[in-house]
Amino acid sequence: MAEAPLNVGLLLHIPYRAMESRVFQALAAAGFDDFTPAQARVFQRIGPEGSRLTDLAEQAQITKQSAGFLVDQLERAGYVERVPDPTDARARLVRVAERGAKAIPLAAAVVAEVEAEWARHLGERRMSQLRGILTQLREITDPWQ
């Protein structure tokens, strides 16, 4: 009996997890060994000027309570900070803190390295097509773009 082909969702997830593992290995090797994938799902959604906790929860597709727990952990570790929202005195923003800012370029370098490896494997043309297709698919799958 022939094995059923993997669904597209799983085919997208497998390379993402491989890249994520490489990023976390590099972060740990550089001393950022207290950062988890669950925290990363929240951290990577923080906007340049900061984000409200409710927005982070919605974008990470988790409850506000879970997002608050993860932000608490990130704040204790020095990756984020909570600051007053300049547009609403009652609200607070989650913003990338100094330690988080130091981790970002390291993670970005690993992402670039992995993408270069994929481009060598697929060829530049096919890698460009893949990026274009995934960017186009985002139009109907990412309401927060």
Amino acid symbol at 13:
H
Segments in the chain below pLDDT 70:
1
- Per the domain annotation, does 3 fall within a domain? no
Domain containing 115 equals: 14-141
Helices 124-141 and 98-122: crossing angle, nearest 10°? 130
Domain count, the chain: 1
In a domain, 6, yes or no: no
Helix (H) or strand (E) holding 99: helix 98-122
Report if residue 4 sits inside a domain: no
* Domain-embedded: residue 9: no
Asked if residue 119 belongs to a domain, the reply is yes
Is 1 within the bounds of a domain? no
Task: Examine residue 68 and state whether it is found in any structural domain, yes or no.
Answer: yes
* Mean per-residue pLDDT of the chain: 94
Whole-structure pTM value: 0.87
Cβ atoms of 86 and 100 closer than 8 Å: no
- In this predicted structure, what is the pLDDT of residue 8? 93
Question: Which CATH number do you get for residue 85?
Answer: 1.10.10.10
